[in-house]
Structure 1
Amino acid sequence: MLLKNLALFLLIVEKGGLSAAGRELGLSPASVSERLAQLENFYGASLLNRTTRAIHLTDEGRLLVDGARRLLAQADELHSSIRLGTHTVRGPIRLSAPEDLGRQYIEPILAQFMQEHPEVSIDLNLSDGYVDPISQGIDFAVRFGELADSTLHARLIGENRRVVCASPLYLARHGTPQHPEDLSEHECLVMRFGINISREWTFKKQGQTQRITVRGRRVANDGALVRQWCLAGHGICLKSVWDVRADLEAGRLVEVFQDYDLGGTALNIVYPPTRVQPRRVRMLIERIADVLSTDRMA
């Protein structure tokens, strides 16, 4: 019963409330509250602070989140080894990836992995925003950028550069900008990250740095949509080279400002500091790392 209550506790944290966790499991709010109380009595500590609108983990609750994930992972590994043999790969995997990278690169890897392991199920969260693997119960995330959360572990896959590009149609209609300052005369396609709109683009050349504030009527928090707008000739975009590599090679998009450095970001696989990951998760991490490391572009 302890393991079931621990799993319920993690679901409460993931869903952000007792009622939402109960609906997921088909339990009444009273049953969820009773089982949470059992868990708090077992540990002799309050795990959650509850208000009418939200729940917040206590210090003991935060400690239990990490420990519960480890314990449940170990129990799952033991169960699979005993009942199904050490070579069987089965069970759910939850992961997150950026929109474009997820569709173009991660999904084909997942399709092949699931074909090889028919007892594995996948829950893929595509998001260009920040996803917290711990609070959202995600096994791992493929992510661009520096590792802001020091409590997570990271596996570096490779480096990634940014490019400014536009479609041949747009450039034929509006001309090709020769200098970053020329962007003030162009329609730019802008990404939103949470509440922040990325209107400032940074250009470096021969030790000099220019920060250009761009304008544009189209803003989105979906990198795939920004790429789609760019392909349709609606403007100029700043993208990860991973996202537009095939378009550049096929001539659907044209890179501008090739003699400028627009900066780069690391491509990482990040995951909670769980000591024991299920074998299926370890295998998929290895598969993604191998494929993306082979395909990476400097």
Structure 2
Amino acid sequence: MNHFPPLNDIQAFVMAARQQSFSLAADRLNVSPAYISKRIGLLEKHLSVRLFIRAARQVTLSPEGKVALLWSEQLLETMERMQAEINNEQLIPKGKLRIVTSTGFGSHFIAPIISQISHQYPKLSIDLELLDRPVDLISEGFDIELRVGGELPQQMIAKRLATNQRILCASPAYLQSQGTPTQLAELNHHRCIGIRERDQTDGLWHLNSGTKQTSIQLTAPLTTNNGSVAKQWCLDGQGIMLRSIWNVQQEINAGQLVRVLPQYAQPADVYALYPSRLETSAKLKVVVSKLEQALNQSAVTI
């Protein structure tokens, strides 16, 4: 025997053994008696034994059939429990979920949403890791990556959660001292603050104006991989910064920062990346849905 017998054969055998009749088994399974006879015949051939002692009006188990029935019933019960567990997993959010995203976005937006989800689904355990570097979901054991901007890996499933863009901004003090640029090329004569985003090439900004994309190489006397540090430098009058609108909207509304060259922006939508389809996991489906809903209801435009 070099492979496992088909499950349909085992189901037909168990029903016939319980009913002690091929015809009654056929009625219970809503198939023909010929189908039951064929499936059992194939199973007997596969196992190289006779499972039934056949009489005119009924069938009884052979000694080998009694052994086969014991194990077949256990097998079917295990399969039923497995299916129930899978269905349960698809319906009830529970277990552990590892999420990774960038430090600024994660602490500012994602952490409060995760707290709400945890209150609503107490059986769900969420590990939120904040990393300002590229990650490999599979090898590092993450279930979801929340990415702001950048190219999307083809081997992952990606769902857009919210629209977002990066804009140019500076402090009023800097613009009063150094002047406000009116053309993109003028940035080469200004102090710019470099932020090593995970999807950014150091010193190179890709900006869109309508459908046209322009790239500009900059000399940035100050560079960091931390968005909060970059924003503080910008507020201190150190130069012009390219930053997600969700991160600077409050300061712009308060007049602490001013948008520069408003005709230019860099698309940086928020995506959830995950290796398996949402339908296979209730915890994955619920968290992605809640994140999408909360981000789109946020008071800050992202």
1:206-245 to structure 2, matched below 5 A, reads 210-245=214-249
Unaligned runs of 5+ in 2: 1-80
Q: Is the 8 A contact 2:170 2:234 kept in 1?
A: yes
Provide the rounded CA distance (Å) in 2 between the counterparts of 1:174 and 1:163.
19
1:1-298 to structure 2, matched below 5 A, reads 78=85, 81=88, 89-145=93-149, 147-193=151-197, 197-205=201-209, 210-258=214-262, 260-273=263-276, 277-295=280-298, 297=301
Deviations along 1:63-103, whole A, 9 cap, x unmatched? xxxxxxxxxxx98x939959xxx65x443221012222212
1:264 positional shift: 1.0
Q: Match for residue 42 of structure 1?
A: none
Letter in structure 1 aligned against 2:226: D
Q: Is the 8 A contact 1:220 1:226 kept in 2?
A: yes
Distance 1:206-1:223 versus aligned 2 partners, 3 A rule:
closer
Distance 1:174-1:106 versus aligned 2 partners, 3 A rule:
same
* Number of residue pairs matched by the alignment: 221
Identity %: 28
Q: SS state of the match for residue 135, structure 1?
A: helix
Structure with higher Rg: it is: 2
Provide the rounded CA distance (Å) in 2 between the counterparts of 1:207 and 1:121.
43
Q: Is the 8 A contact 1:151 1:273 kept in 2?
A: no
Provide the rounded CA distance (Å) in 2 between the counterparts of 1:219 and 1:173.
21
Q: Is the 8 A contact 2:209 2:265 kept in 1?
A: no
Distance 1:147-1:193 versus aligned 2 partners, 3 A rule:
closer
Provide the rounded CA distance (Å) in 1 between the counterparts of 2:213 and 2:281.
46
Unaligned runs of 5+ in 1: 1-73
Provide the rounded CA distance (Å) in 2 between the counterparts of 1:139 and 1:198.
28
1:109 positional shift: 0.4
Provide the rounded CA distance (Å) in 1 between the counterparts of 2:205 and 2:278.
40
TM (norm. structure 2) is 0.62
Letter in structure 1 aligned against 2:264: D
Tell which deviates more after alignment, 177-186 or 103-112.
Answer: 177-186
Distance 1:199-1:249 versus aligned 2 partners, 3 A rule:
same
Distance 1:180-1:156 versus aligned 2 partners, 3 A rule:
same
Distance 1:153-1:147 versus aligned 2 partners, 3 A rule:
farther
